[in-house]
Amino acid sequence: MNAQWSDWILGIGAWALAGVGLLLLTKALIGDRSNGRRRCRRCWYDMSLIKPIEGTWTCPECAKTARIEKQMLRSKRSMRLAVVASLLMLLAHPTWLMPNALREGVASVLPTTLLLLVAPIEADDFSLQTQDFASFYDLDSDSHFTKELLERARARTLAPSQVQHLMDKILKAQPEFVWAPILARDSWPANQPVLVDPDELMINMPFVGPDVLFRFRVKPDGEWIEQLYADRYRPIYERAQSLGSFPPGTIAIEGELLQGIRKTQLKDRTIAVDYTNASPVWRADIATIEIGTPAEDLIETITSATFESQVGKKFYGIGTDREGDLWISITELWRPREFQHIDMGVGLRIDVFADDQAIATGSALMRMIRPGQRGGSFGGTRYTFPLRWTTGPVDLSAYDSVVVQAKSDPDTAIRDLTRTIFWHGESTSRVTNINGAYWKSEGFARFKARFTNR
């Protein structure tokens, strides 16, 4: 039979079933009205001619006694007919969906809520994919029910609660389907600000959409820290976030992914978030940090005389800006050849002396910026770092030079959450470039504003 004709026949049959069912249901509910006749409520015998005896009516057919006349005036309804009518009307819906079921399978006509209950998602359905130097889990299944569910998800036809239910099923089968987008150390010193870094949001969920926001906090009631994304992967603000300081013990961090947020960039380049249509997609415990481990126990150290000599030659300028804040500059530090295969970092404590008096102090975290050239080099944001006065502002123009002492600092080093090996040593140098014109320039003022807000 032609598919089009079968569609017409099944469609007419569905309407016929619905129509007959509706007529029967109407008849069953309206029933046989009494029209003022008294009838037995058990056998429906006509008791119009039966006289009451002491205020009661007794049925001569079944001997049922009625004490209230109104009870004998009710309509006679058929519950069996109502059940048959309801079944016919229920049968009309699958008959109407039958053409799609024959062409595309039974899964295509099932409601999404039912699909979420019956669609199997197993660990074998996941495959590890590599794209743009990043790895993530993709999901495919041999089950027609699961395929249909994923197609609806990718078409974004699922309600927020259904998306959350789907994520629960996925994460039970493959917990690594969502990678917690933060970097954190397993341990941290007590009473020091605990830092975590935003990472790429590795999540293969086209049904979530690009307008997502990841946020995390210290359980159970810490303040939420928000992380926005330019797309599904790249964080907008790549900066370390402080969770606060904690006494010795253990803290747990929970994360939550929201979809449906709206981002608006303000004039000061900050981003305002509208949560009106936001809904949670996923929430889980993402990290546990032991508090109380000294910083020096969290890292490994290496020494190099050539690198130590290099540090002493790289500080080239110090000066105050328009607001009187003190800054120091250092050029790139090249990784020692003997350590060119080691992913190392550099964390420095910087002390500045004038006439043997300490006038300023600060820190510098040098990150690997050119790993493929000459063994790799380290640098910071424009190689410029803020310092703070030790006792109060000093007029640097009164000095021809200052002495800069730089030594490895574990407390600074651990702020680089991606590395565990750091240089250990100490170096001293003399800086003669003091209060250059650059520090007072408009270009440096713009850099400072970005440095402060990033």
What CATH number did the domain enclosing 272 receive?
2.60.40
Residue ending a domain, among 126, 158, 177, is 177
pLDDT score of 111 more than 90: no
429 shares its domain with 315? yes
Q: Is pLDDT above 70 for 231?
A: no
- Average pLDDT (361-365) is 92
Q: Parallel, antiparallel, or unpaired for β 271-274 and 384-389?
A: unpaired
Pairing of strands 65-66, 225-228: unpaired
User: Are residue 312 and residue 446 in the same domain, yes or no?
Assistant: yes
Question: Once rounded to an integer, what is the mean pLDDT over residues 103-118?
Answer: 81
Instruction: Give the per-residue pLDDT at 232.
Output: 47
Q: Is the peptide bond before 247 cis (omega within 30 degrees of 0)?
A: no
156 and 61 both lie in a single domain: no
pTM of the model: 0.65
Domain shared by 326 and 281, yes or no: no
Pairing status of strand 212-218 against strand 225-228: antiparallel
| pLDDT tens per residue across span 43-88 | 877 777 777 777 778 787 787 788 777 777 777 777 787 888 788 8
Number of domains in the chain: 4
Task: Answer yes or no: do 317 and 441 share one domain.
Answer: yes
Assign 3-class secondary structure to the chain: CCHHHHHHHHHHHHHHHHHHHHHHHHHHHHCECCCCCCECCCCCCECCCCCCECCEEECCCCCCEECCHHHHHCCECCHHHHHHHHHHHHHHHHHHHHHHHHHHCHHHHCCHHHHHHHCCCCHHHEEEEEECCEEEEEECCCCHHHHHHHHHHHCCCCCHHHHHHHHHHHHHHCHHHECCCEECCCEECCCCCCEEEECCCCECCCCCCCCEEEEEEECCCCCCEEEEECCCCCECCCCCEECCCCCCEEEEEEEEEEECCEEEECCCCCEEEECCCCEEEEEEEEEEEEECCCHHHCCEEECCHHHHHHHHHHEEEEEECCCCCEEEEECCEECCHHHCCCCEEEEEEEEEEECCEEEEEEEEEEEECCCCCCCCEEECHHHEEEEEECCCCCCHHHCCCEEEEEEECHHHHCCCCCCCEEECCEEEEEECCECCHHHHCHHHHHHHHHHHHC
191-204 pLDDT tens trace:
999 998 876 555 55
Say which residue, 235 or 27, is predicted with more confidence. Answer: 27
Domain edge (last residue) among 231, 266, 293: 293
Question: Based on the domain organization, do 328 and 440 belong to the same domain?
Answer: yes
pLDDT tens digits, residue range 278-330? 877 778 888 899 999 999 999 999 998 888 888 888 888 899 988 889 999 88
Per the rule left: phi > 0, alpha: psi between -120 and 50, beta: everything else, 376 is: left
pLDDT of 6 reads 66
Q: Would you say residue 389 has pLDDT above 90?
A: yes
Mean pLDDT (the chain) is 79
Q: Express each pLDDT in 165-221 by its tens digit.
A: 888 888 788 777 766 667 889 999 999 999 988 765 555 555 555 567 788 899 998
Residues 268 and 399 in one domain: no
Instruction: Report whether 300 contacts 421 (CB < 8 A).
Output: yes
Q: What would the pLDDT profile of 131-166 be if each residue is shown by its tens digit?
A: 554 455 667 788 888 888 888 887 778 887 788 788
The domain in which residue 51 lies consists of 3-105
Query: Is residue 88 domain-shared with residue 133, that is, in the same domain?
Result: no
Is the pLDDT at 360 greater than 90, yes or no? yes
151 and 72 co-located in one domain: no
Most confident of 28-32, 88-92, 316-320: 316-320
Check whether 233 has a pLDDT greater than 50: no
Judge if 97 and 118 occupy the same domain: no
Helix orientation angle between 160-173 and 144-154, rounded to the nearest 10 degrees: 130
Q: CA-CA distances (angstroms) from residue 196 to 20, 213, 216, 273?
A: 67, 17, 10, 22
Report percent pLDDT > 70 for the chain: 80
Task: Give the pLDDT score at 38.
Answer: 80
Which has the higher per-residue pLDDT, 407 or 240? 407
Q: Look at residues 90, 105, 120 and tell me which one is the last residue of a structural domain.
A: 105
